[in-house]
């Protein structure tokens, strides 16, 4: 049961891109309630218990993200149980476990991975030049380049902005 809760939290963090927390409807709430928290799941962990204090637009974004997280959870929960029992949640370990079993995943979970892969490919293609220019020296992995691009969103090319917004 705890594993499921953490898997849902991880899915929620993935569903609610750091861009939505750094900019857009939740930006003011992050500044007001969670200033100084790291992008991504740390900000989400800060905002989530304060949902009642958030602006309506941010609440809507969180509600959409929660719905998306439920979908991901529903599509991958059997796979988590089958392949990842005993894996401590956090820092992408469940995701890494599922990825290591990608060829064996159920069709619904494999579809989730396919969607994520397409989104990543789109960002890589649209933002390669921006990443090279604005994020030189940032080590790839664990969403570091993505966070760099998001933090420089006002300086990236229009095509990269579009890819990040998807």
Concatenating the DSSP letter of every residue in 78-141 gives: HHHHHH-TTPPPSTTHHHHHHHHTGGGS-HHHHHHHHHHHHHHHHHHHHHHHHHHHHSTTPPPS
Residue 47 pLDDT exceeds 70: yes
Question: Tokens 């599922």 label which residue?
Answer: 98
What pTM, to 2 d.p., does this model score?
0.65
**9 or 28, greater pLDDT:** 28
Question: Tokens 């928290």 label which residue?
Answer: 37
Question: Tokens 């990825």 label which residue?
Answer: 99
Write the DSSP symbol of residue 52.
G
Q: Quick one: pLDDT band at residue 76, thresholds 50, 70, 90?
A: very high
Residue 98 pLDDT exceeds 50: yes
Check residue 75 and give its pLDDT. Answer: 92
Question: Within the chain, what is the greatest distance between any pair of CA atoms?
Answer: 44
Do the beta carbons of residue 83 and residue 98 sit within 8 Å? Answer: yes
3-state secondary structure of 128: helix
Length of the chain: 166
Backbone torsion region of residue 2, taken as left when φ is above 0, otherwise alpha when ψ lies between -120 and 50, otherwise beta: alpha
């Amino acid at each position: 049961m705890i594993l499921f809760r953490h898997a849902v939290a991880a899915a929620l963090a993935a569903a609610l891109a750091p861009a939505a927390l750094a900019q857009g409807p939740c930006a003011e709430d992050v500044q007001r309630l969670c200033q100084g928290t790291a992008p991504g799941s740390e900000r989400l962990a800060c905002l989530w218990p304060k949902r009642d204090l958030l602006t309506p637009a941010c609440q809507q974004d969180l509600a959409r993200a929660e719905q998306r997280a439920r979908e991901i959870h529903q599509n991958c929960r059997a796979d988590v149980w089958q392949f990842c029992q005993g894996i401590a949640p956090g820092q992408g370990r469940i995701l890494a476990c599922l990825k290591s079993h990608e060829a064996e995943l159920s069709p619904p979970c494999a579809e989730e991975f396919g969607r994520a892969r397409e989104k990543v490919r789109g960002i890589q293609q649209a933002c390669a030049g921006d990443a090279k220019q604005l994020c030189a020296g940032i080590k790839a992995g664990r969403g570091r380049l993505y966070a760099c691009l998001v933090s420089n969103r006002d300086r990236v090319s229009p095509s990269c902005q579009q890819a990040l917004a998807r």
